Amino acid sequence: MKLCRFEDPRRLAHIGLLLEDDSVLDLSAEGVDRLSPLLEVDELVGQLAGLAGKNLPSYKLSEVRLLPPVERQEVWAAGVTYLRSKKARMEESDFSATAYDRVYDAPRPEIFFKALPEKVVGAGEAVGIRKDSKWNVPEPELALVINSRGQIVGYTIGNDMSSRDIEGENLLYLPQAKIYNRSCALGPFIRVGVSESEARTWTVALRISREGVVVFDGQTSVANIKRPFGELAEYLFRSQSFPHGAVLLTGTGVVPANDFTLLPKDFVRIGISGIGVLENQVEEV
Ligand code: DO4
Ligand code: MG
């Protein structure tokens, strides 16, 4: 089952349930007007199945504007969870290579703050590349949607936009390489009712187009993520509470060649087989 946030003609946010016929059922008629309390419900799938059977107002998916699937959740990200990511980081920086090598095998994962919800962009909005960076890439990542009790209740698609030259210059510049305007995209749906073993059968695909021509096309399997999802969530929630829940990106396993950089107006298309497609155009910020 897939949940979304969408905007009505008066620009008010609603919670929607995507149905088989690509219509979006408006759950607000049943008093469901926010995602976070819904994600706390123990029998979420049963509750949504009950709502799906009701005669609620619905819209065609093609006619609604989807919003990023976050309200007050902080967005965090795990790093160096795929061998491909470790290799890419070690190539980009002699200076930091040992740190990346060590963290891949260390008991404690790399987890960093990525975005406040109001800074997240949704499907169809522009993602940013920094004006002061010459080497920028998207990072297509499976994102865990976690409730306030630390339970992984769903999955969405994330783009951890990154400036590789700033990150490679010095590890201490990581927040500047990762956090800036429009540096995080999420959406369009939250897939719920799926076990980790099912999510591990999914594929993460990245396609970048420039003036109508595909300039990068690559993919990986979620199965290549080294750490169990529960371990990543458990570290995030250690000594830290998230009363509204949190979103945790799980790291990238698709990295374009080292001579590739994004340019303004490129289109970034991330597909995760069990969720859908997140597409954004690139803009300099
Ligand atoms: O420390 C570097 C960031 C790693 C990352 O974002 C990833 O592996 O996806
Ligand atoms: Mg990343």
Nearest atom within ligand 1 for CA of residue 171: 1
Ligand 2 centre to CA of 112 (Å) is: 9
Whether 189 has a pLDDT exceeding 90, the answer reads yes
Whether 164 has a pLDDT exceeding 90, the answer reads yes
Cis link prior to 188 (omega < 30° from 0)?
yes
> Is the CB of residue 251 below 6 angstroms from any atom belonging to ligand 1?
yes
Whether 270 has a pLDDT exceeding 90, the answer reads yes
Residue nearest to atom 5 of ligand 1 (CA): 79
> Is the CB of residue 80 below 6 angstroms from any atom belonging to ligand 1?
yes
Indicate the average pLDDT of the chain: 96
How is 169-221 classified by DSSP, letter by letter? H-GGGHHHHH-STT-EEEEEEEEES--HHHHTT-EEEEEEEETTEEEEEEEEE
Q: What is the spatial distance between Cα 14 and Cα 67, in angstroms, rounded to a whole number?
A: 9
Whether 9 has a pLDDT exceeding 80, the answer reads no
Query: Tokens 């609620």 map to which residue?
Result: 56
Structure tokens at 53: 């059977």
Whether 200 has a pLDDT exceeding 80, the answer reads yes
Summarize pLDDT for 114-131 with one digit per residue, the tens: 999 999 999 999 999 999
Q: What is the spatial distance between Cα 118 and Cα 2, in angstroms, rounded to a whole number?
A: 22
Q: What is the spatial distance between Cα 57 and Cα 154, in angstroms, rounded to a whole number?
A: 24
